[in-house]
Amino acid sequence: MNQFEKISLPKPDFIDSLNEDQRKAVLTSEGPLLVLSGAGTGKTKVLTSRLANLIFTGKAFSSQIFAVTFTNKAAFEMKIRVEKLIKKPVEGMFIGTFHSIGARILRKNAELLSLKSDFTILDTDDQKRLIKQIISFLNLDPKRYTSKNYQYFIDHLKNLGLHYDQISNHEFENYSNGNLSKIYKLYQERLITFNAVDFGDLVLHPVKLLKQNSEILDYYQNKFKYILVDEYQDTNTTQYLLLRLLANKHKNICCVGDEDQSIYGWRGAQLKNILNFERDFTNSKIVRLEQNYRSTSNILSVASSIISENKERIGKKLWTKDIDGEKVNIINVENDEMEAITIAEKIKKLFENGVIKKEIAVLTRASFQFKEIEDRFIKDNIKYRVVGGLKFYERKEIKDALAYFRILVNKDDNLALERIINNPKRGIGISYISKFNEYANNNNFSLFESLKYHLDKKILTKKTHENISLFIKILDKHKEDIKKLKHSDVAGSLLDDMGYTEMLQNDKTPESEGRLENLKKLIVDIEKRNSIYEFLEEVSLVIDNSSEVNMAEKVSLMTLHSAKGLEFEHIFLPGWEEGIFPNQRSIEENGNKGLEEERRLAYVGITRARKTLNIIYANSRKQYNQTIYRSIPSRFLEELPKENCKLQIESVKVQKKFNTIDYITSQEFKIGDKVHHDHFGIGVILGINCDKLQVRFQKNTDVIKVLSDFVKKV
């Protein structure tokens, strides 16, 4: 026996609160690890416990950890929770979104990409305006070649990790008759000239840096001993490439996600990233988190049953120790008006039983479904909030103010300058702005330099010359003031001296008071930061800027996409009919891949519910001002387990028409079916009215009504 008895230090107490699978996910620290975290299985707890354990056990300093979340809010909350677990501050940890972390890497190495470290970050509106200028410069038809389309194309290509010289065979390039690569190239060149980047660049540029510079790659590979990624199923190709590059030395990458909740394919998310994890990272391990702490057994059975129909998944089955709870209500109503009435009546009964409003949510596939429900809520005096309305930083007065602040820190920010140079009016109309831009483009100048050139040459009208001179004078004064005065005071006085505040004060419309209040809130936000520079960066990177609202006093109404990550005691899922859910366009454009994403969306909606779940479908529905008679129940309803559901009929006519779960019957034709007509060719059914079909044929963009006897299924 050893004469010395070694001291045994206590294990961290936060490990004891984990279940067996959670503990395995936390303690497996070496090598690649994929944590498949089903809805409500304690993902956040696992993430924070894993980070805390790495620091607590001395496996890594906080500065050696690279942690990625999909919102800044989630990053902040994760940091706070880790600090609470280990009972000390977390210093130096790289924790944030891909964009915020990418910005940190880029600012440190900006010169290698012909940028300055004080570059500005464009928003979507800025992108569109710049692309519009380029379309005009190339003499392309702006109606055929819209800035919105090209902004989407460029963003999508950047999400795929593709530069303008890598898209010769891409479908977007073919669609644009070879113009996309020209626009993309000019767009990137203008960004460099303006000392600016867009959101796509914040990840694409760091990938380029790491690929082209071995010293920088070595630095960050050595720096980050452990990498942790949240919501891995939502990563795009460029984000995946960044992770592969950083993890290639230590191999200690832990990705947490749920392939069954991958619902953002339309914005670039690649499901294959999570499906191919074992192939991409050799000697990897998989831990499944399947014990659910949120929902009842009946709700979980319904969720598991519907998602099991998908082929593209790794696979898991949620379970709970809790009681079965109420069966899932499948409610059939006559029309969308009856649907809204039914939802309102059930919500009022919940109120009577003491349920608070914030625990109730109505989740729809699309926002057009809101109207009938909102109208009924107003009539019945049910207080509600629509999640996803106009956000604070998307309001015009806020964007204008931010443009002034951007010019204050970076005079070469063309798009910001263009936004405010004649706001308020300074006699600098479109013709002048076009003239200044043309000179800037032809001479590789910024717009600000072009202004100064035209002033020096004295070729402007007297009034315009005076206004521009005053504008530059005020700007220069505040650039000096910011070095010695309180930055929030400088921001406020800039808006005052430029006449912007006065313009709003002189506006007598009802909205003007609210706009002035918003500017006051903005200045208060700036005051809380260390500098205007820091404030602008945070605003550029923020993803979830929802307005403050007393949720306890309102029922939530939102789309299924907006509901991801949330949970409520009582959930209503209206509109489960073919064409609406699953969405017709999604299936038309993406086939079975689109259908499986729609099914994952259904899974997300179902798993938001803790206690009760109500799924509703209508026999007829007003859509695009047309009533679609004999709407076909969603195919997803046939995928639900009968023993965990109960059918509720809100129409005496229903029994004669349908037979699902006990009442759904297969129709000869369904909305979404492909059909062939001898004259019109191939088409897709959009609506059904008895024996009349509404069909959009490939040869004709108009919807044509045909008798069912004259078409055959394809």
Strands 253-257 and 226-229: parallel
Per the CB < 8 A criterion, the answer to whether 675 and 685 are in contact is: yes
CB within 8 Å of 427: residues ≥ 6 apart: 461, 463, 464, 467
Counting runs of H as helices and runs of E as strands, what totals does the chain give?
Answer: 28, 24
Among this protein's residues, is 231 annotated catalytic? Answer: yes
Point out the catalytic residue in the list 230, 339, 400, 597: 230
Pairing state of beta strands 692-697 and 703-707? antiparallel
> Per the residue annotation, which of 261, 559, 623, 694 is the catalytic one?
261
Q: What type of residue sits at position 336?
A: D
Q: What is Dmax (Cα atoms) for the chain?
A: 99
3-state SS string for 368-405 = HHHHHHHHHHHHCCCCEEECCCCCHHHCHHHHHHHHHH
Encode 638-677: b = buried (16+ Cβ within 10 Å), e = exposed: eebeeebbebeebbeebeeebebbebbeeeebbbbbebeb
The set of residues, in sequence order, having a beta carbon less than 8 Å from that of 185 and lying 6+ positions away, is 164, 165
Cα 586-587-591 angle, rounded to 5 deg? 120
Q: Which residue among the candidates 23, 24, 28, 44 is catalytic per the annotation?
A: 44
Classify residue 509 by burial, with Cβ atoms within 10 Å: 0-12, 13-18, 19+. exposed
Q: Examine the residue annotation and report whether 505 is marked as an active-site residue of this protein.
A: no
Burial class (CB in 10 A: 0-12, 13-18, 19+), 352: exposed
Asked if 397 contacts 515 with a C-beta cutoff of 8 angstroms, the reply is yes
**Catalytic status, residue 43:** yes
- What angle do helix axes 237-247 and 201-212 make, rounded to 10 degrees? 40
648 is known as an active-site residue:
no
Using only the alpha carbons of the chain, give its radius of gyration.
29
Amino acid at 85: L
Catalytic position from the list 21, 22, 41, 43: 43
Dihedral over Cα of 637, 641, 642, 648: its sign: negative
Tell me the catalytic residues.
43-44, 230-231, 261, 608
